[in-house]
Structure 1
């Protein structure tokens, strides 16, 4: 059973809302990974309407949020599992019922849908008004300054050795700061900003009897065999680190210098936080094995509804490990795309 609280400015305006047709999904390949939709079913003793019509209405898409949770129970036992804090992005459709009662219009019941995005959408909306210098030598401190979000420092901090100027969108600046931590940004189910490490953590569960299907797919999309990393030295001049796969099926070129069967697929990366040649070279060395293997083999897993699945989880499955790339929940099932590591 789904339940939601309406939040505004971190205050709960309505608790235990009746929500239906809940569709939630998370995609680890996107900056705003969480999105979804749901229907609000509203009826009260006063015959009031809650369909938003203007700025300031409670469900209007101007700062209102839904904390969506799942209630799981058996007999007298029940547990409320937090699923996510979502901004109300739009109200795409609403059905309003009216009737005349004792010379006044009342609303005996109504249903309206809400489209939802997680809180990182605010960072995309909030661009730098002008080039802005970094404020701190701590990466975590700078993340908090750029995003304005509460953070949980769940990976070790790093140092910003040389001050930089943010002259791009805040989501891009935030992603580069998390790169320095070896992670991607993610939000906890309560809306707190955390790091999702790029290195595979220890497995947290096993995919077992609940799996309905798990077909295997293989794609070359977003698989690269060359990386070009760009930084800037102390004088502001560009510096580059280039690395490429030298052997195997993903080699960039043959030993005689001719093109390989796969060809060259180049992944480019730039960051003002890389200020010396050894830094761009080291990051190119780190980046190449990651982008030359990621999403090489994936499986589309469907299992019985499991609200505990999260993007980034490592799971035991059959004869190996897999890592969750996307998660989508409906009332009966949980669908996941999982990455299979290359041998």
Structure 2
């Protein structure tokens, strides 16, 4: 599948990736694949209580995250955008602190990283993204919001409200859907009429791109074009990256209950990491020594992140009250006082 050319060409968004950038994309994908696999193992080992894997979605996440202008754009993730976070250079111990249950939303600075707190509410991030994007319009700034959600989340009412508002107000926001074939245990065809989320964009008057989500270069080009379109004042864009969730929905899920291994192998298609590796080899962009180095770096990074996660201690319990409202309400203050009295003797 190739990108559908429905956006007006915007000057400055056509420059091809350099060989160095292509190698960097592979290095990022290798790091994400290794960390993602390790995180599942950490959950089984009791290091973290839960995790939402992204095996098979590395190209969709790295390719799109790599296109973000971190000086002015802002990303609004769900709970499965570890690859985007890594591509944007976040502190991964801080990111993984949510999965450690040490901190809700991630122990990193959203303003500095341009990566909003991890959103566990299905489709909740789209509303925040449109609000921020509309703020850019009101202030005359040129930042673009990039919000992520899945094919399952696309059926939530929040997505309708967000797309409708964004279209009417011409908010600079890219709605990035990772269509991985499954809304937990429900296949896309059973909850998305027509099987395409991108097709819905026409109902809001929003241009849409459907892209091969396992092709990291195609994803990057589509995201870059969409960001340029928004930045030029043309309003929102929908991108649907067609990919496949090769593992469980979360570490609490058993995909064997709703699909067989044979079905998984057949539907998943070619592995995005192996596919990109073969492309780089065929084009003479990288050799075996480069891939060996990328793997060693991924190993070392994973070990450092694991050590950082294991070193995370518990946070002060009082923080559950201090980070709710800018100005604490009387009810919250009463709860905090009661909690302190009950905790004094513990």
Normalised to the residue count of structure 2, the TM-score between the two structures is 0.22
- Normalized against structure 1, the TM-score is what? 0.22
**Higher Cα Rg, which structure:** 1
Higher relative CO (Cα under 8 Å, sequence separation at least 6) belongs to 2
Structure with the bigger percentage of strand: 1
Greater share of helix: 2
